[in-house]
């Protein structure tokens, strides 16, 4: 669960951070807290791991199985507050009606000896989306769209069960760490929205005259005016979150809560394309529709909003668009030919891989995109968009496994290595290069060539793990300045933990790139596939 402390600091409350530290807000656990060491049903309470102005979360363990869980309780000072206890119960009831991978799970509910109620919930490891955004500013487009799709999927499940979140924000989206470093978005904090008195927020010495449910930066206009909330209320908040994921900032900012609420109510939302370059038109249109002032002008449901998002995500993954890997460039006065401008995606190569006579073949598509873990200044050495790749004459014929590039006889710092598609495959994966400077798509294609055959064999051997007859599997690698792959992880949901995912990760870890100037360069490798009726060699 996530709460907001008195100073506005986000608190990840049923969750442990990846650093093992406690998420804290001023106040801490109560003095002489009796809960640590006590037994609640089948669980032994270990210690407080997070706390905020209203609640405390403890880590506990099952007495027999040892399973770690989170136990959330209200502070003793709020035990007799009928509004908060009612919301606490409503949150438990809402969560008990939801069973979805993208929604935090409730395990049990009960009463403490002092009369306070408690929830036993799954203990999540990772960090909030808010914490991630504070560190990186904005996400690579591929990751932003993937997380957005996961959030919409969870919202759709909640809305189908009649539950409206009402406080969707980055602090209430938790990025759960899975195997191989992959992360998955999970919604938390259903029903226990923080009550924020407007007068108190704008004047600490004043008396509160009204209350606000939600977080002002992400409030829908109908929430700001005290009207009824519907699933479309969550979609507005989701639009604000998506805007922030791609641009690095919410659409509105102000010096006071009242000014911010007025912006949500009456100020036209800026277009996403006015904040960053290279935004795909369909994404720009989707965000604009989500931020409509009137609920009836927004998408009718999370699934309706999800449809164009998934189409865009699939198209970008399938084409291997270079815009996938890195954050889009902030909008600035540059000509269209500048590195920050959007360019057409590079044409990808296709390999048809025979599986069995009369069955189907797979087309493994190699596409690449770059980003850096550090924020990029306007004139950074890493292009915001990788230059377009080789032309049609360099497309590798079907079933021919590409080989490492053949270096020119005379070293030439400006020369590009060529791929001899008909030569024997070399087991050596290190590709020496004379060039310096940022990696280009041609550099990445050349480095990937030696493993293309092994990627093909991964798809053949573990075809049972493919999510469908056609799609794209994305694996992320982190490359050092020396060109070595320091880590790899599955980006595609559901790929992590499968034999196919492990096979792909093992192979991409053998990639070797030439030296390049960026520390911890992230490269997204999309491998598209399609089942096609036909015989081997077709």
Q: What token pair was written down for 451?
A: 């493993």
* Alpha carbon distance 358, 389 (integer Å): 34
Pairing of strands 39-40, 43-51: antiparallel
Q: Give CA separation, 23 vs 12, 56, 296, in Å.
A: 6, 10, 38
Q: What pLDDT score was predicted for residue 432?
A: 44
Encode the chain (538 residues) as per-residue pLDDT tens digits: 333 332 333 333 344 433 333 444 445 677 778 889 999 989 999 999 887 767 889 999 999 999 999 999 988 888 788 888 888 888 888 888 888 999 998 999 988 888 888 999 999 888 999 999 999 999 989 899 999 999 999 999 999 888 899 999 999 999 998 776 678 999 988 754 333 333 333 333 332 333 455 689 999 999 999 888 999 999 999 999 999 999 999 999 988 889 999 999 999 999 999 999 889 999 999 999 999 999 999 999 999 999 999 999 888 776 554 433 455 555 543 333 333 333 333 333 333 333 332 233 344 334 344 443 333 333 333 222 222 333 333 222 222 223 333 333 333 333 333 333 333 333 444 444 456 677 777 788 888 888 888 888 888 888 888 887 777 888 889 888 888 999 999 888 888 889 999 999 999 999 999 988 777 788 888 887 776 654 444 4
Q: What is the pLDDT of residue 473?
A: 86
Strands 360-366 and 369-372, by their bridges, are: unpaired
In this prediction the pTM is: 0.57
Tell me the chain's radius of gyration from C-alpha atoms: 25
- H or E, element range at 369: strand 369-372
Which tokens go with 279? 């935004």
Q: Compute φ and ψ for 153, nearest 5 degrees.
A: -60, -45
* Structural contact between residues 278 and 340, judged by C-beta atoms closer than 8 angstroms: yes
Q: Are 262 and 285 in contact (CB under 8 A)?
A: no
How far is CA 391 from each of CA 170, 346, 404, rounded to the nearest angstrom? 41, 8, 18
Catalytic positions:
167
5 in Cβ contact with 23 (< 8 Å): no
| Region for 58 from its dihedrals, namely left if φ exceeds 0, alpha if ψ lies in -120 to 50, beta otherwise | beta
Domain architecture of the chain: domains with CATH:
2-125 (3.30.200.20), 126-194+212-316 (1.10.510.10), 337-408+419-533 (no CATH)
> What pLDDT score does 412 carry?
38
């Amino acid at each position: 669960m996530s709460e907001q402390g008195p100073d506005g600091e986000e608190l990840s409350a049923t969750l442990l951070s990846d650093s093992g530290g406690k998420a804290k807000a001023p106040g801490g656990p109560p003095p002489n807290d009796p809960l640590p060491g006590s037994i609640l049903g089948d669980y032994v309470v270990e210690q407080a791991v997070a706390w905020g102005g209203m609640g405390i979360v403890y880590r506990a363990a099952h007495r027999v199985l040892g399973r770690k869980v989170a136990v959330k309780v209200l502070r003793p000072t709020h035990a007799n507050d009928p509004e908060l206890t009612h919301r606490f119960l409503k949150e438990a009831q809402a969560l008990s009606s939801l069973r979805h991978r993208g929604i935090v799970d409730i395990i049990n509910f009960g009463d403490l000896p002092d009369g306070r109620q408690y929830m036993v919930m799954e203990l999540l490891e990772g960090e909030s989306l808010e914490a991630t955004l504070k560190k990186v500013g904005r996400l690579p487009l591929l990751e932003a769209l993937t997380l957005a799709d996961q959030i919409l999927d969870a919202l759709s499940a909640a809305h189908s069960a009649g539950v409206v979140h009402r406080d969707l924000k980055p602090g209430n989206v938790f990025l759960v760490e899975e195997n191989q470093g992959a992360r998955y978005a999970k919604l938390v904090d259903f029903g226990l929205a923080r009550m924020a008195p407007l007068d108190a927020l704008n004047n600490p010495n004043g008396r509160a005259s009204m209350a606000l449910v939600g977080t002002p930066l992400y409030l829908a206009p109908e929430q700001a005016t005290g009207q009824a909330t519907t699933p479309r209320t969550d979609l507005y908040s989701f639009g604000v979150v998506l805007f922030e994921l791609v641009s690095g900032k919410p659409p509105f900012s102000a010096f006071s809560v009242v000014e911010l609420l007025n912006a949500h109510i009456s100020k036209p939302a800026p277009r996403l394309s006015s904040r960053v370059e290279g935004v795909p038109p369909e994404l720009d249109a989707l965000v604009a529709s989500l931020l409509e002032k009137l609920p009836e002008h927004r998408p009718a449901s999370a699934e309706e909003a999800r449809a164009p998002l998934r189409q865009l995500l699939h198209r970008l993954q399938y084409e291997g668009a270079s815009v996938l890997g890195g954050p889009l460039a902030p909008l600035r006065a540059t000509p269209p030919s500048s590195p920050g401008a959007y360019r057409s995606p590079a044409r990808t190569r296709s390999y048809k891989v025979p599986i069995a006579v009369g069955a189907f073949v797979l087309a493994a598509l190699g596409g690449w995109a770059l980003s850096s873990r550090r924020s990029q200044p306007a004139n950074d050495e890493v292009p915001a968009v990788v230059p377009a790749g080789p032309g049609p004459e360099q497309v590798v014929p079907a079933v021919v496994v590409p080989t490492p590039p053949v270096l020119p006889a005379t070293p030439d710092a400006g020369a590009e290595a060529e791929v001899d598609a008909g030569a024997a495959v070399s087991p050596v994966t290190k590709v020496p290069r004379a060039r310096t400077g940022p990696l280009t798509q041609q550099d990445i294609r050349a480095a990937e060539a030696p493993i293309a055959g092994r990627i093909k064999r991964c798809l053949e051997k573990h075809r049972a793990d493919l999510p469908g007859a056609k799609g794209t599997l994305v694996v992320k690698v982190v490359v050092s300045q020396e060109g070595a792959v320091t880590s790899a992880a599955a980006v595609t949901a559901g790929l992590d933990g499968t034999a196919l995912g492990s096979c792909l990760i093992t192979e991409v870890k053998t990639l070797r790139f030439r030296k390049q100037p960026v520390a911890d360069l992230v490269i997204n490798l999309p491998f598209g596939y399609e089942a096609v009726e036909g015989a081997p060699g077709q």
